[in-house]
Amino acid sequence: MKKVLIITYYWPPAGGPGVQRWLKFVKYLPDFDIEPIVYCPDAPNYPLTDTSLVSELRSDLTVLKTPISEPYKWAHFFSKSKTSDLSKGLISNPKKQSFIEKALLFIRGNFFIPDARISWVRPSVSFLSEYIKSQQIDTIVTTGPPHSLHLIGLQLKQKHALKWVADFRDPWTHIGYHKKLKLRSFAQKKHKNLEAVVLQNADELLVTSPKTKTLFLELTTQPITVLTNGFDFQITDDSSLDSKFTLSHIGSLLEGRNPFVLWKVLSDLIKESVDFAAAFQLNLIGSLSTEVLETIQSYGLESYIFTIGYIPHNAVLDYQKKTQLLLLIEEDSKETEYIIPGKLFEYMGSKRPIIAIGPKTSDIETILNQTRSGTYFRYDEAAALRTLLLQHFEAYKTQQLKVDSKGLEAYSRKSLTQQLAHKLRNQT
């Protein structure tokens, strides 16, 4: 088997979406004659943990670890709650930011470039250089964010005769929170320069969306492959559904993901229809920003929402499969156009109708249309959204609410891993 060294920050017991992609790739790579070797930090400060994911690790998997210095641990001294929010990507409205939050954002953006894990680069290069030589490794993979891990790949490639694949789960300078970091001109320039060096020196780039590929094609001539995220469970149509007309959102609802159009439509339907009001329930599972909650309450929906914080991934799948409708919300911004959230594919595999709300152009809409898994709306399409919700409600009342999707197997984690293995075997 060909040995491939995979350098990642997120690894079980890390929770959240960042861990899923390479956890699943590593799970299936041996089935395609690739021996993965994982390198990750020892005792990191993960914002979310999910110990249930440990059970998915193969018993014969080699996992290498070295200590990491986590600035967020020290930042807790000044504000535990704000530091925790920042590590999760929860950045509040600038008008509502405290002095401490502004200071933390400024320090994070201008002193830790590209991110708070930059101090792990040098010791990792030193440790891995010895391992690469002793084990005769000829191919490495780095996955970000955090994008500082790509600097590990860059330096290892410069020191050794090996092939380097850089995996971008999200863009670098075009990710939504980047412009919120209060960057000075020197910091912005450094980010751009580091991004360019990585994109121009990696032997192969992996991205999760066609729009990210289009973006990177303007910055590099290196080969770029779109390899989306996916789902890793058996597709069934026989799940027991909620008795209520449930609309469920799984994952973080940050300040920018606040679809006023949806809250207004739901509020109007509840006021206009006794039947709808009696049946409806909005499930919000995951981190919820204060501003989003206050907005929902302002539309009189507080008695119709069920909120629960972060839950293990296996429990998430249960919620997805039994809900009547699945809700996907992305921020209405240019940066969001490059993102296909991993939960889209798990939504699709759950075989429940999806209602997605996002920016004017998005790869999400293309995938939903191709697979017939749901309907995509822009933030100004209130009338169309209302019509669809009523159609779904009528189908729900007759127990006919379902989705006739197709082509889902292409997004199974095993199928995607087969594509990855082909790429890795060709890195010689």
Segments making up each domain of the chain, as ranges: 2-69+116-230+412-425, 245-409
Residue 109 has pLDDT above 90, yes or no: no
Nearest to 245 by CA among 284, 296, 271, 281: 281
pLDDT digits (tens, 9 = 90+) for 182-203: 778 998 999 999 999 999 999 9
**pLDDT value at 79 more than 80:** no
User: How far is residue 257's CA from residue 259's CA, in Å, rounded to a whole number?
Assistant: 6
| 245-409 matches 2-69+116-230+412-425 in CATH topology | yes
For tokens 């996955």, what's the residue? Answer: 143
Element (H, E) at 261: helix 260-272
pLDDT at residue 78, as a whole number: 45
Query: Taking a C-beta distance cutoff of 8 angstroms, is the pair 324, 241 a contact?
Result: yes
Q: Indicate the CATH number of 245-409 among 3.40.50.10680, 3.40.50.2000, 1.10.3720.10, 3.30.2180.10.
A: 3.40.50.2000
Tokens 């600038």 correspond to 94
Distance CA 335, CA 319 (A): 29
- Which architecture, in CATH terms, is 2-69+116-230+412-425? 3-Layer(aba) Sandwich (3.40)
Spatial CB neighbours of 348, under 8 Å, sequence gap ≥ 6: 231, 354, 367, 371, 373, 374, 405, 408, 411
- Would you say 284 and 379 are in contact if contact means Cβ atoms under 8 Å apart? no
Rg of the chain taking only CA atoms, in angstroms: 22
* Bridge partner residues of 64 (DSSP): 39
- What percent of the chain clears pLDDT 90, i.e. is strictly above it? 76
Whether the predicted pLDDT of 87 surpasses 80: no
pLDDT tens per residue, range 5-63: 999 999 999 998 999 999 999 999 999 999 999 999 998 989 889 999 999 999 999 99
pLDDT for the residue 89: 52
